[in-house]
Structure formats: structure tokens, C-alpha cells
Amino acid sequence: MKPFVHLNCAMTVDGKIATQNSCLQISGKDDLIRVHKLRLKYDAIMVGINTVIVDDPRLTVHKINADKCSNPVRIVIDSNARIPLDSRVLNDEAETVLVVSENAPEDKITLLEDKCSVIVCGESRVNLKDAMNKIYDMGIRSILLEGGSTLNFSMFKDKLIDRVTVCIGSKILGGTNSKTFVDGDGFDKDNCIQLKLENIEKIDDDVVLTYNVVY
């Protein structure tokens, strides 16, 4: 069994989710409020380790009024336990589950176990299907996946994503090396992901599209 997974992302009109070397808020203030309301509906929020290293997000509900105890569990996918010990996602504002592989150094895991739960899935890279099973067994029934583009691709490849929401901010970034919504190896025409459009919403200058994934 696996939790229901909803991928939420903000991208520019040209599909970029970040600049090559600096932080950028892609969607507007009201879209951030939408995202924080969405976070409240999920048991957990999940990101890849590069997002933690680059953005140092808190992954809590803090743009709207909410009780600290309503913060979802934070899940970080991090094969080699590269997470910096002072990452904000390891603060005491919410529980955190770090998913590592058998490759992760034991001394780092010992240090991390003071700050979060650590689960091991996969030999040299996190096995995401195994991770979803174990996370389900921990009682987590729904996950809001918040990137980045490498983890998004792997989650699609393993058919683990059920719903997709993309907020298109009114910006263009360009840049061959700038991250797009989904990177990784990519799909070919025979196995690309099919979506069914469920909702269109205009929020100020942003457009929010929600799809169900058709496997």
C-alpha cells in the first residue's frame, strides 16, 4: 500500500522551477497562502535533498494561522544522509522523517537520529516504492510532494503520483541549465505521463491547474 501523493509546484511560463544560481519566488503571495492551506490537508510534505540544501525550507504551515501541532510530517529523500544538521527542516516545528539508503554513513545517521526519524530504503539510492510502503505503514496516508525536479521525475517513473497541481507564475526565466518542473532522464512518446485536467483557477496573475494522473 502507498499514501495518496499530490505533487504541487510553482513554475514560470517557460516551465522553470528555479534559477540556475539564485532563489526566486515564482508565484504570488496569494498562491503561497493556497499552498499553505493545501499543506494542512496532508499528513506529510515531501521533498528531495537538493531542495533542502538549496532552499533550506521549513516545510511548515506558517503563511496562515495554524496550530503548531497541525504541521504535517516532513519527509526528505536523501540517499547518503547529506542533509546539513542545521537545516530548518530538522527544527522542532514538526516531525521529520529522513529516508536514506544503505549507503548512508552510520556516524551521520547517529547524529541525525537526535533530530528526526531515519528509515532505510534501497541499496545505493532511495527505493521510492519501498519508501512509500514503509511511510504508509507508519500511518501516513497522504503526501504533498513539493519537488524538486529530479525527485518529481522518479516519482512519476515509479507511478507513485496521483494528482498534480501546477501554479504558472507570470514570469519567464529561460536558461538551458535551469531546473524545469520534471527533469531526470525524461520519458519517450510511448511512456509519457498522461494527465486529466480537473480544475483551472486564476489567482491574481497566476494560473493554477490541477490534474489527475492517468496510468
Q: Which residues bind ligand NAP (CB under 6 A)?
A: 9-10, 17-18, 26, 47-51, 54-55, 77-80, 82, 125-126, 128, 146-151, 154, 179, 183
Q: Rounded to the nearest whole angstrom, what is the least distance from the CB of residue 72 to ligand NAP in the complex? A: 16
Is 57 or 69 the residue whose CB approaches ligand NAP more closely? 57
Is 68 or 201 the residue whose CB approaches ligand NAP more closely? 201
Is 65 or 144 the residue whose CB approaches ligand NAP more closely? 144
Is 78 or 206 the residue whose CB approaches ligand NAP more closely? 78
Is 27 or 71 the residue whose CB approaches ligand NAP more closely? 27
Q: Rounded to the nearest whole angstrom, what is the least distance from the CB of residue 194 to ligand NAP in the complex? A: 21
Compute the distance between CA of residue 114 and CA of residue 119 in angstroms, rounded to an integer.
Answer: 14
Cell matching residue 19? 534559477
Position with the least CB separation from ligand NAP: 148
Q: Rounded to the nearest whole angstrom, what is the least distance from the CB of residue 86 to ligand NAP in the complex? A: 18
Compute the distance between CA of residue 138 and CA of residue 72 in angstroms, rounded to an integer.
Answer: 13
Q: Rounded to the nearest whole angstrom, what is the least distance from the CB of residue 42 to ligand NAP in the complex? A: 15
Helix (H) or strand (E) holding 39: helix 29-40
Helices (H), the chain: 29-40, 49-55, 106-112, 128-137, 149-157
Q: Rounded to the nearest whole angstrom, what is the least distance from the CB of residue 184 to ligand NAP in the complex? A: 7
CB of 164 within 8 A of CB of 215?
Answer: no
Rg (the chain; Cα; Å):
17
Compute the distance between CA of residue 89 and CA of residue 57 in angstroms, rounded to an integer.
Answer: 6
- Candidates 55, 9, 2, 3; CA nearest to 209 is 9
